[in-house]
Amino acid sequence: MTRWGMVIDTDRCTGCGACVVACHAENNIQTVGEEEAKNGRAMHWLRIERHYEGEFPDIRVRFLPVLCQQCGSAPCEPVCPVYATYRTPEGLNAMVYSRCIGTRYCANNCPYTVRFFNWHAGEWPKPLDRQLNPDVSVRPAGVMEKCTFCVQRIQDGQDRAKDENRSVTDADIETACSQSCPAQAITFGDLENSDSRVAQMAKSARASHLLEDLGTDPSVIYLLGGE
């Protein structure tokens, strides 16, 4: 069995935001503009939370990249009346855009607030439309979207391994965010495969889940606590 997972080392994260930009480019996420962002409609499947510790001038900033946690027991899934969001056998929390009718119930029940609604359809004025990723659908207005763990890249890596008659390794699949992280804070892989990097890192004493006490069983593991 496979369970896709991600390990984020917060002690490595510098908060540069390269992952956010890469995610936008890879996944055709719309940029909503200044006005809409001010109304709380900015869309970033991956966001960098800044947390300040201490009082000025003795202050410390911690960065926490937050994306869909691809929960094993996802609160967003049972509430959707039309099965637009469901769990795949490989542990992904998938979205079926064409099935979504836009009740936004899933987003209300997500404790991580990582679901994004297309209040309006995205616009890519020429020549920006040329940079759209052909492997990812462009979402219409009125549907929910969120981080997919770059499912198109997972699919691609699996297809290549299959063509070469071997099993998938860490080298086959990399998400846009992990690929672009200059500090290598983000690692992606199969948590069920004991040889993978993520499976090794998940054993770390620094490993923890976000809002673990809610019992959502996230697939994203944070390494925290180092100085």
Separation CA 171–CA 204 (nearest Å): 21
- Which of 11, 36, 156, 170 binds another protein (CB under 8 A)? It is 36
**In the complex, minimum distance from the CB of residue 18 to another protein, in angstroms, rounded to a whole number:** 19
Residue 7 beta carbon to another protein: minimum distance, rounded to whole angstroms: 19
Chosen residue from 41, 87, 197, 209 binding another protein by CB under 8 A: 41
CA angle 168, 174, 180 (to 5 degrees): 165
Contact status: 224 vs another protein (CB under 8 A): no
> What amino acid occupies position 50?
R
- Measured CA to CA, the distance from residue 177 to residue 26 in angstroms comes to 9
Contacts with another protein in 84-143 (CB under 8 A)? 99-105, 107-109, 111-113, 116-121, 140-143
Supply the minimum distance, in Å, between the C-beta of residue 42 and another protein. Answer: 8
Does 204 sit near another protein (CB under 8 A)?
no
Does position 39 interact with another protein (CB under 8 A)? The reply is yes
Pick the closer one to another protein by CB: 100 or 176: 100
C-alpha span between 22 and 41 (Å, rounded): 19
Q: Choose the stretch contacting another protein; rule: CB under 8 A; options: 13-21, 40-48, 173-181, 191-199.
A: 40-48
CA end-to-end distance (rounded Å), the chain: 36
Cα 210 to Cα 198: distance, rounded to the nearest angstrom = 17
- Applying CB under 8 A, the site for another protein has a residue count of 45
Binding string, residues 51-70; x marks residues near another protein by CB under 8 A? x------------x-x----
- Sign, CA torsion 39/40/46/51: positive
Residue 47 touches another protein, criterion: CB under 8 A? yes
Smallest gap from residue 83 Cβ to another protein (A):
5
Q: Which of 22, 20, 93 is nearest to 63 (CA)?
A: 20
Looking at the Cβ atoms of 79 and 136, the one nearer to another protein is: 79
Site residues (vs another protein, CB under 8 A): 36, 39-42, 47, 49-51, 64, 66, 75, 78-83, 99-105, 107-109, 111-113, 116-121, 140-144, 210-211, 214
